[in-house]
Chain A
Amino acid sequence: MHVVICVKQVPDTETKIRVKDGQVDHSETKYVVNPYDEYAVEEGLRIKERLGEGKITLASTGPERAKDALKSGLAVGADEAIHLVDEAFEGSDPYATALILSKALQKIDYDIVFCGKQGVDEDHAQVGIILAELLDIPHVSVVTLLEISDDQKSILAHREVEGGHEVIEAPLPAVITAQKGLNEPRYASIKGIMAVKKKVIPEWNAEEIGVDAEAVGTRAAKIAFAEVTLPPERAGGRVFDEDPVQDAIKVAHLLRDEAKIL
């Protein structure tokens, strides 16, 4: 079974976002692997371990730092990694990102494809699902539990919905987008981290994957970021710190009489 996992680098969720000239200022941003992609990687590893065979390939499109995401996946046990990088890819929107990934995937065989359910940067939550449509295969999104059938031809996935879970059956190949709760990602061993240091990650450009440079990047954006602003700061409110019981009564009454919401 060939498991392909798409990963990306995102600003650490601890990051305080700053804006300069209408765009997010990343000059002091610390990047990490997208948290949802870590669940995707872990699930791939577990599938290989359960089946006792298989290959895990990681794919990422993005600037040089994308290699760090690929390396952290290799360090925990993925077999191969491909860095999809080209000047033409810069500024790709979710559709173009999925297009790049789909062209790369068409060059390799795949049985199951994992993505995080969303990048915790721009929060589009689109790439994995668009990728499935472009590859003309089914998808199951926000997956919290996954089983592969004995014949390795289909999956049973639990998908988080309002008020419960849907159980979805789909034939492979399929795209799965990982939700928190799917598993508990492992940490890389020192040995794993050391082994990855020397690893040379192959780079594939637009020509190699056969994507039209005019169909990706900023020039092909179907949605374009015009401007980024910071949300208005909340004005600090009233703090009560005298007597817990009296303060609670006061706040309950303020909610009713001042805020008028009860």
Chain B
Amino acid sequence: MSNDVLVLAEIRDGAPKKISFEMLGEGQRIADQLGGRAHAVALGHGIGDVAATLAQYGAQKVFLADDPSLEDYTAEGYTNVLANLIKQTEPALVLLGATTTGKDLAPRLAARLAVGLASDCTGFTLQDGELLVTRPIYAGKAIATVKEEVRPYMATIRPNIFSAPEPDTSREATVENIPADAGQIRAKVVEMIKEAGDRIELTEADIVVSGGRGLKAPENFALVEELAGVLGAAVGASRAVVDAGWKDHSYQVGQTGKVVTPTLYIACGISGAIQHLAGMKTSRYIVAVNKDPEAPIFKVADYGIVGDLFKVVPVLVEEFGKMKAEA
């Protein structure tokens, strides 16, 4: 059993996603305390280039599984390859992103290895050689400290919580090609339906602009989209407007939607039901625009504007537009 931390780098369109760097930063911090090193593993096809990038973000060793059978992510194929690597290298801790891939893969991999898994983690502490993990429960209404009892410890990490280290171009990693046999894959990806346009993913966004019932009609969502557009933000929605069919469920922020932790969250016409607050309360700055001064959203807002959003939001668009032009 080593004291190393193994990070599963998530590759999209040939490059590691930001969460991979966030995991390497935190993985290195934990490895330092354990007296081990942080390594990365990447799976895919034609991904040789990612090793250099992962090295710049701190990976000491990069394990590469490069094979056509791994081009599309599949839970079974990735589990087969990773389970072998983990059995062989015996890391102390395995980190995956709490992304749609990591959330799908980690439970299967943990079950294959018969180890525990802490989901969607936001903090790690070592105490007398044992790993204590903090993770929000009840969509963030409470925080649990979880003790992992079986090695290797495994955890998925919530995006946007840990900061990525500054890349150091002088760093190099040992690259090791590992057996890349996906084995039996029963559940296969037959098609990828991409959304029109480059939609910014809510859980990864630095700024989120959300709209609620205060928008009065689905076509008025254009206002929220315009504000998001000028800020380069992701668009979110309250449960009320998703249930009303104005927006697809993938836009929903809250307890039965997505939990987001952006630097800035702007809530337009959202009253702030307990389920919604649970999904956005850990944002660094919160701005609320609502005409009801009693709306619960104002209790969590850093800057609240009591007023008609149809008057307020266009001014925000204009002001942010000006600032952008000046910058």
Residues of A within 8 A of B (CB): 11, 13-17, 19, 24, 35-36, 93-95, 98, 120-127, 129-130, 132-134, 137-142, 144, 156, 158-171, 174, 179-181, 221-231, 234, 236-241, 243-245, 247-249, 251-256, 259, 261-262
What separation, in Å, do the CA atoms of A166 and B298 have in the docked complex? 38
Question: Is B225 at the interface (CB under 8 A from chain A)?
Answer: no
Known interface pairs A166-B189, A221-B116, A227-B144; 20 further A-B residue pairs with C-beta atoms within 8 A, sorted by A's residue number = A13-B256, A13-B274, A17-B141, A24-B138, A24-B142, A35-B256, A95-B114, A121-B138, A122-B144, A123-B119, A123-B139, A124-B117, A139-B75, A139-B108, A141-B75, A161-B101, A180-B252, A236-B301, A239-B293, A252-B319
A234 to chain B, nearest CB (A): 5
Task: Contact check, A170 vs B304: say whether CB atoms are below 8 A apart.
Answer: no
The 6 A-B pairs at the shortest CB distance, nearest first, are namely: A222-B116, A244-B307, A252-B319, A241-B306, A237-B302, A248-B315
Task: Contact check, A98 vs B111: say whether CB atoms are below 8 A apart.
Answer: yes
User: Which residues of chain A are near B142, meaning CB under 8 Å?
Assistant: 17, 19, 24, 228-231
Task: Contact check, B144 vs A228: say whether CB atoms are below 8 A apart.
Answer: yes
Task: Contact check, B304 vs A94: say whether CB atoms are below 8 A apart.
Answer: no
Max chain B Cβ within 10 angstroms of own Cβ: one of A11, A123, A170, A171: A123
* CB-nearest residue of chain B to A140: B187
Task: Contact check, A168 vs B190: say whether CB atoms are below 8 A apart.
Answer: yes
Given contacts A162-B99, A227-B145, contact A129 B108 (CB under 8 A): yes
What separation, in Å, do the CA atoms of A224 and B110 have in the docked complex? 15
Task: Contact check, B312 vs A237: say whether CB atoms are below 8 A apart.
Answer: no
User: Which residues of chain A are near B201, meaning CB under 8 Å?
Assistant: 162-163
Max chain B Cβ within 10 angstroms of own Cβ: one of A120, A163, A174: A163
What separation, in Å, do the CA atoms of A35 and B254 have in the docked complex? 13
Question: Is B56 at the interface (CB under 8 A from chain A)?
Answer: no
Question: Is B120 at the interface (CB under 8 A from chain A)?
Answer: yes
User: Which residues of chain A are near B195, meaning CB under 8 Å?
Assistant: 163-164
Task: Contact check, B136 vs A129: say whether CB atoms are below 8 A apart.
Answer: no
Question: Is B308 at the interface (CB under 8 A from chain A)?
Answer: yes
A24 to chain B, nearest CB (A): 6
Task: Contact check, A126 vs B107: say whether CB atoms are below 8 A apart.
Answer: yes
* CB-nearest residue of chain B to A93: B116
User: Which residues of chain B are near A254, meaning CB under 8 Å?
Assistant: 303
Enumerate B87-141 residues with CB–CB distance to A below 8 Å. 99-101, 103-104, 106-108, 110-112, 114-120, 132, 135-141
Residues of B within 8 A of A (CB): 75-76, 79, 99-101, 103-104, 106-108, 110-112, 114-120, 132, 135-150, 186-195, 199, 201, 203-204, 207, 231, 248-250, 252, 255-257, 263-264, 274-275, 281-282, 284-287, 293, 298-308, 311-313, 315-316, 319-320, 323-324
Query: What number of A-B contacts does a CB cutoff of 8 Å give?
Result: 273
Task: Contact check, B111 vs A241: say whether CB atoms are below 8 A apart.
Answer: no
Task: Contact check, B148 vs A133: say whether CB atoms are below 8 A apart.
Answer: no
Task: Contact check, A95 vs B323: say whether CB atoms are below 8 A apart.
Answer: no
Task: Contact check, B256 vs A120: say whether CB atoms are below 8 A apart.
Answer: yes
What separation, in Å, do the CA atoms of A252 and B304 have in the docked complex? 11
What separation, in Å, do the CA atoms of A224 and B101 have in the docked complex? 25
**8 A-B interface contacts by CB (under 8 A):** A123-B137, A125-B103, A222-B114, A228-B143, A239-B306, A244-B315, A247-B305, A248-B316
Which applies to chain B's interface (DSSP): helix, strand, loop or mixed? mixed
Question: Among B114, B274, B323, which residue has its beta carbon within 8 angstroms of that of A256?
Answer: B323
Task: Contact check, B143 vs A126: say whether CB atoms are below 8 A apart.
Answer: no
B251 to chain A, nearest CB (A): 11
Task: Contact check, B187 vs A125: say whether CB atoms are below 8 A apart.
Answer: no
* CB-nearest residue of chain B to A142: B100
A205 to chain B, nearest CB (A): 23
Given contacts A133-B112, A227-B145, A240-B304, contact A164 B187 (CB under 8 A): no
Question: Among B112, B143, B285, which residue has its beta carbon within 8 angstroms of that of A261?
Answer: B285
Task: Contact check, A169 vs B193: say whether CB atoms are below 8 A apart.
Answer: no
B35 to chain A, nearest CB (A): 23
What separation, in Å, do the CA atoms of A12 and B298 have in the docked complex? 24
Task: Contact check, B187 vs A124: say whether CB atoms are below 8 A apart.
Answer: no
Task: Contact check, B257 vs A248: say whether CB atoms are below 8 A apart.
Answer: no
Task: Contact check, A230 vs B143: say whether CB atoms are below 8 A apart.
Answer: yes
User: Which residues of chain B are near A138, meaning CB under 8 Å?
Assistant: 75-76, 186-187
What separation, in Å, do the CA atoms of A95 and B112 have in the docked complex? 11
